[in-house]
Structure 1
Amino acid sequence: MTSPEEFLAAAEAHSAHNYHPLPVVVATAEGAWMTDVAGRRYLDMLAGYSALNFGHGNRRLLDAARAQLERVTLTSRAFHHDRFADFCTQLAELCGMELVLPMNTGAEAVETAIKTARKWGYRVKGVRDGRAKIVVADNNFHGRTTTIVSFSTDPEARDDFGPYTPGFAIVPYGDLAALEAVVDDDTVAVLLEPIQGEAGVLVPPPGYLAGVRALTRARNVLFIADEIQSGLGRTGRTFACEHEGVVPDMYVLGKALGGGVVPVSAVVSSREVLGVFRPGEHGSTFGGNPLACAVALEVIAILRTGELQRRAAELGDHLHRELAPLLERGAADAVRGRGLWAGVDVNPSRGDGRTVSERLLARGVLVKDTHGATIRIAPPLVISREDLDWGLARVREVLGV
């Protein structure tokens, strides 16, 4: 296969259609740019849904991976390895927590958080067996396992996958009164995205996260923050919860933790919470493997300087100023976001999200639509201001502004 058309035809013929990717076939990538099999360059304004916060081919991360590849890549958790203790220690310190439970994918981390909250509820809070309840928000996206889609309100994610796992209550996102109304003695946790990414980069009303923190603390309920997309620099802070001065009981992390090199995820919490596990009750063959730990340790080292967080905040302010004319000129019905992350609801007069994404693809810019009318903009945090401006000029051009 040599042409993009041949690659696309083979993919169409031999892969399950669980995704609807844009018709581009990437061959190489560096920084904020990707090159397809025909040699055409594209500005990446999606960054793997935040998995590539540090850019494609980050030298520090690749060097860390290469060095570890020459030593040992996998031991399983049947044995200790010499990167594990440092990884757990340094990630716990970054989060201001005590214990780390490493996994691989974001969905695994969310499943781990659910199991942790239920076990904590029975062993520590004293909820009667089989009664534990977790409260979530509508329009959430926490993954696609059977349990997780059981509390999704997205028909595409949920339909035809029942019977569904019980034990969840769904309330409107951003509605503190609705949340308070469903929290009862059987409630063990509130699981929220501090900013809902897949829903279109929905930012909750000011004070909401702080209100959730106060409510959960008062009712002896765990506050679990799914920072898989919003965390590790994307919003201009290490964690999106920091914008309201909130520290949850548990962070759920993934995507950027693996630096775009390997899948790495983790649940990070206190000794009281994660200490409920005993050997054999939960795990993963690849969770916390040496290669993953080596890459994640370099990610943590990058984040500790605070440089990329500051960069995301500064470029994010610029991003939102440059997107404002879309709203003013009627090209967008809404523009939301925080830091180097935005959701743009395209006015129907300019097309739907998929059409706009395809037009941008033709002009060398890669974004992705969600929920019909929305496009998400989330470039790598290492993007230059000049490249960002070039990409935003293409967005304005496509939307007729």
Structure 2
Amino acid sequence: MDNEIQTLRDATIDTQVDIENLKLDMASFKGETYQPQYNFEELYNLKNSNDKRSISKLIKTLNIDYVDESWQKADWIAVFIAGAIGITLDVLITQTKILRPVDTKVKEILASDKIRSFQDLMDKFSNSFRHGNSAPIDFQDFEMAGLASIHEQYSFGHDPLRFIRGIIQMISGQYSGVDRYGKLIQAPFGEGIKNPVQAVISYVAHMISDMCNQQGLPYPGSTFLMQFGSNKVREDITAAYRAQLFNTRTFMYQSLPSLFMSIIIHSWAIYDNYTHTGKIKMKIGNDLKYQPMLLVSNAMVMTANLSINAVRGIVAEGPRVLFRVDYPVIANTVKHSIKYLLNVNKRINMTGKEIQELYERSEREKLENHSIDEYSSQFDKEYEEFVKGMEA
């Protein structure tokens, strides 16, 4: 066992024993009975132990809410396993066609009568807020260069990342999108839904219905590229969307590596914390120790994905390799980076506040022109006089 850790362990035990002895003395002085909270013999056995597990036993015995934020060997192994599984999944999903049969099966399910009935139900429910009229985010026979059958890819309101724009379209009753040349298209369509709550409900129902299409919804954020990208970019995106290779389902498949890594790290965090404290804390994965583990595992997958795609882009595919980039993993890496910085900032602020409170309390309670030794000496004298008075 590390000497520094052993010293801290022994100091903790000595302090706790001193506190219990003080409580016993105070109870005896008052003529009361006090039952020590801890077994002194058990604490001293832990103090004399060279077993590494004595730290965990001490934490459980004293019921300390404690997390060692330093990474041990097992933590590194957990991160490596999570990262390796994430990289494997990412390569299979973004670099191979292994999910094609799965997606084909999904599309067969979406084409079933039960799903079609559910889709019709959602459409009718959504349209009921507009007296049966279809949604403003849909193509309404206005003049537009591009295929009406894939109008979702041109419509801003169908982009999951621009859901606020979609709700605004529902309220205003106006279609907003672009055509195949990037020209902005805005076309009024009847009367909007003035009640914002009803507009949100109608929008969500419509999006659920469109999600059940084999075509699906556009890849989140892709309408920004349709709006501000080149004609070549628009052609590639619409071609991939029309071929059902680049949509919201693609985004969901690409999210699987981050999902599995999160499950692995959170499960490890719960188990690791339980072995040290004997407590099950479901949210311990958000702790300052485990948050960086999520960050590192996602960063491993992001680095592998970008490296592979960089090589493929240079050697063979060119700009089209961007369809293979795992954007959900990049987003998760950024998210965990921000969370980590916020956690560190929170810890610094809390520590600073505690130090400030301690300083202010010491300023209030200190004796002017007296040192600590003088204060202790004065206390001893007053205590001796008190005892003499009691004996007399």
Higher fraction of strand: 1
Higher fraction of helix: 2
TM-score (norm 1): 0.25
TM-score (norm 2): 0.25
Q: Greater relative contact order: 1 or 2 (C-alpha under 8 angstroms, separation 6 or more)?
A: 1
